Each structure stands twice: as structure tokens, then as C-alpha cells.
């Protein structure tokens, strides 16, 4: 039982779970704000605009299916303002979430550069080059050359592996046998 609580504690105190909980709470609060904006400000404005477009007579913001404006409680109607405000609500929340995720991704990209910088500082070769008096630009150039050489070597190895796989392909072997038999005839 003690082990169970220890595992549970490590799960709950992990950064991802806490970040997720904070995100859900903030998202709920933001959703309440946007819903209040659309229901209490935008929806009446939309209904008013629809009313004005209808000539200012009656309640044009609603399409009555059963009943009339005089008996709103008993009537069945379509509230166009509510529908349009829900669409605006969705768009606003999606836009804010997009901007937040974009900012988080940008921050993660920056952290990757910082992490690489620390790894470079800890690299014994880099430290030796710094002791030799090389500048950071020279070290970066050396690093870029090594990366290019590694990429070329990887591409060459991949091409060789592909050629070997093609040579060992049963279809290729059968074609070679067919060609040899044609030559013997």
C-alpha cells in the first residue's frame, strides 16, 4: 500500500499532470469569460441587428415555429442570435488556444537551442578548441562541417543499404536469372 501511494505521489507531482490541471482550470475560466461575452454582449447586438434588418417590426431575431412573440413562454422558436453567438464563442476559444499552443511550441524550440548550447559547452572537443583559442564562430564552422560529413556518410550508407536490398530482392534475382538464360540460348 505504501508503494502505491509513493507511485501515486510521483504521478501527481510530475510536471505534465500539474501543467495539464492548470491548463484545464484556466481553459474553464476563459471559456466562462468568452461565454459571458457572447451571451451578454454579442448575442443582444446580433439580435438587435437582425431586428433592424427585419424592418424593426416585431421580433425578427426569432423564427417562430409554433406560437408568437406575445406568448414567448409557450412558443417554439429559433434564436438566431444564440446560434451566431455560439459560433463566435467557438471561433474565439479556438483562436486563443491556437495562439497559446503556438507560443508553447515557440518556447519549446527556444529551449531546444539552449539545451544544445549547454551540450556544446560540455563537449570535451569544444572545450579543447576553446583552450586552443578558437572563436565561437570557428567552433560553429567546425561543428557544421562535422554535421555535413555525418549527413553525407548517413546518406551514403542509406544508398548502399538500398542498393543491397534491391540486389537481394527476389524479383531482381529472378530478372538476372532470366537475362542469363536468354544469353545462353
Q: What percent of the chain has pLDDT over 70?
A: 74
The C-alpha atoms of residue 171 and residue 177 are separated, in whole angstroms, by 10
Q: What mean pLDDT do residues 150-157 have?
A: 91
Q: What is the pLDDT of residues 59-114, one digit of tens each?
A: 555 665 565 656 666 666 667 777 887 888 888 888 887 888 788 777 766 666 66
- Tell me phi and psi for residue 62, to 5 degrees: -120, 145
- Name the fold adopted by 2-122: 1.10.1200
Domain boundaries, the chain: 2-122, 137-185
Mean pLDDT of all residues in the chain? 76
pLDDT, average across residues 30-58: 77
More confident residue, 157 or 107: 157
Give mean pLDDT, residues 147-151: 89
- Is the model's pLDDT at 3 over the cut of 80? yes
pLDDT value at residue 152: 92
Range of weakest confidence among 27-36, 123-132, 150-159: 123-132
Q: What pTM value is reported for the model? A: 0.41
Residue 96, pLDDT score: 80
Question: How far lies 81's CA from each of 14, 23, 178, in Å?
Answer: 44, 30, 76
Residue 115, pLDDT score: 60
The whole-angstrom separation of Cα 96 and Cα 29 is 13
Residues 98, 34: Cα–Cα separation, whole Å: 15
Amino acid at each position: 500500500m505504501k508503494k502505491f501511494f509513493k507511485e501515486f505521489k510521483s504521478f501527481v507531482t510530475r510536471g505534465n499532470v500539474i501543467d495539464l490541471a492548470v491548463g484545464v482550470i484556466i481553459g474553464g475560466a476563459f471559456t466562462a469569460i468568452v461565454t459571458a461575452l457572447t451571451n451578454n454582449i454579442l448575442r443582444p447586438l446580433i439580435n438587435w441587428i437582425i431586428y433592424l434588418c427585419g424592418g424593426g417590426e416585431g421580433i425578427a431575431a426569432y423564427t417562430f415555429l409554433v406560437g408568437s412573440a406575445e406568448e414567448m413562454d409557450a412558443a417554439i422558436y429559433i434564436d438566431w442570435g444564440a446560434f451566431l453567438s455560439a459560433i463566435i464563442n467557438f471561433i474565439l476559444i479556438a483562436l486563443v488556444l491556437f495562439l497559446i499552443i503556438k507560443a508553447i511550441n515557440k518556447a519549446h524550440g527556444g529551449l531546444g537551442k539552449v539545451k544544445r548550447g549547454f551540450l556544446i559547452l560540455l563537449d570535451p572537443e569544444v572545450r579543447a578548441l576553446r583552450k586552443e583559442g578558437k572563436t565561437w564562430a570557428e567552433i560553429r564552422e567546425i561543428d557544421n562541417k562535422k554535421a555535413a560529413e555525418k549527413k553525407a556518410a548517413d546518406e551514403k550508407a542509406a544508398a548502399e543499404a538500398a542498393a543491397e536490398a534491391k540486389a537481394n530482392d527476389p524479383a531482381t534475382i529472378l530478372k538476372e536469372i532470366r537475362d542469363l538464360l536468354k544469353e545462353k540460348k
